[in-house]
Amino acid sequence: MGVQLQQLRYFLAVVETRHFTQAADNLGVSQPTLSKQIHTLEQSLGAPLFERIRGAAALTVAGETLLPMAQRMVADADAAREAVQDIVGLRRGDVRLGATPSLCSSLVPEVLRTFRAGHPDIQLYVNEGSSQDLIENLLAHTLDLALIVQPDLGVDPALTTTPVLRESLVVASAFDRPPPTTHGQIALSELEHTPLVMFRAGYDIRGVTLEACHQAGFTPKFAVEGGEMDAVLAFVEAGLGVALVPSMVLANRPMLRATPLAPPGMRRTIALAHRKRSVLPHAAEALRTTLLAHVATQELPSGVRPL
């Protein structure tokens, strides 16, 4: 019969009080129950642990040998239970979230602020990348959750996605420069001779923009290319050209003008993805709940609607 944790707790209680009856009272059990458990422990170890001297329970040599190990084992068990309860109770843990650059500069900061207020001891890790890179990170188990642009053909069957919001793409231009059109909306074909600020290769919006221009019958002219989201917006603010961007990233850019595309326009669906056969850690599930609630209840910028 193996040694049980409860038996070690009984053993330590007797060591502390040096008396079986008082130890039993402290533990809230009967004295015969405690004595039986100590006897069973002694049988498992093959040696007596206590001897009675003038009415007190004194440790034998075997008991002295067991004492530091029993203290360590009980302390480790208590620490393990506390650590698990901390994680389950969201007092500790970490979350690894991936998001595209446009979402890292718009939606994600507000969501993380809300989450942080409710769970200040959860460590947050954010990975910024293209949707394809984030999908690969999820499959490699280096991310718990990822906000991605949902592909038209769907994602890897090992992943599950929850559509979160749909946002329109708009033409961003500098406020201190003439607008790209004198009308309220602009047809994509009107940009044929307008220099574009273009994202780097591999960026989600770059491929969408190039394909849309091709469908409109022209090859766009680049003023500058190769930037990330913040760089592209800064180049547009500097008047180097215009850019096709998600409407959400212009919410806090007063130096930029957003011109809607004429119907049918261009839209994309943002989805929250995670591995299908993995149970989300408690902290990741809490962040997922916070994000979905934020999208459902908070006022979203123009051109963005929850799903």
- pLDDT for the residue numbered 87: 67
Here the tokens at position 270 are 């943002």
- pLDDT for the residue numbered 151: 83
Residue-wise pLDDT tens for the chain (307 aa)? 578 889 998 999 999 899 998 998 988 889 999 999 999 999 999 999 999 888 789 999 999 999 999 998 988 887 777 667 666 666 777 889 999 988 998 899 999 999 999 888 888 999 998 898 999 999 988 999 999 998 877 788 899 999 999 999 999 999 999 999 988 899 999 999 999 999 988 888 898 899 999 999 999 999 999 888 889 999 999 999 999 999 999 988 899 999 999 998 999 999 999 998 777 888 888 899 999 999 999 888 778 888 8
The long-range contacts involving 234-239, CB below 8 angstroms and separated by at least 24 positions, are 235/197, 236/172, 236/173, 236/174, 236/197, 237/174, 238/174, 239/174, 239/176, 239/177
CATH class of the domain whose range is 5-88: mainly alpha
β-pairing verdict for 267-275 and 159-174: antiparallel
Nearest-angstrom CA–CA distance, 168 and 179: 19
- pLDDT for the residue numbered 106: 87
Ranges in the chain annotated CATH 3.40.190.10: 94-166+268-306
Ranges in the chain annotated CATH 1.10.10.10: 5-88
Nearest-angstrom CA–CA distance, 223 and 236: 10
- pLDDT for the residue numbered 196: 95
CATH of 94-166+268-306, one of 3.30.420.130, 3.40.190.10, 3.10.580.10, 3.30.1490.20: 3.40.190.10
CB atoms < 10 A from the CB of 229, how many? 22
Name the maximum alpha-carbon separation found in the chain: 104
- pLDDT for the residue numbered 1: 54
- pLDDT for the residue numbered 109: 93
CATH class of the domain whose range is 167-267: alpha beta
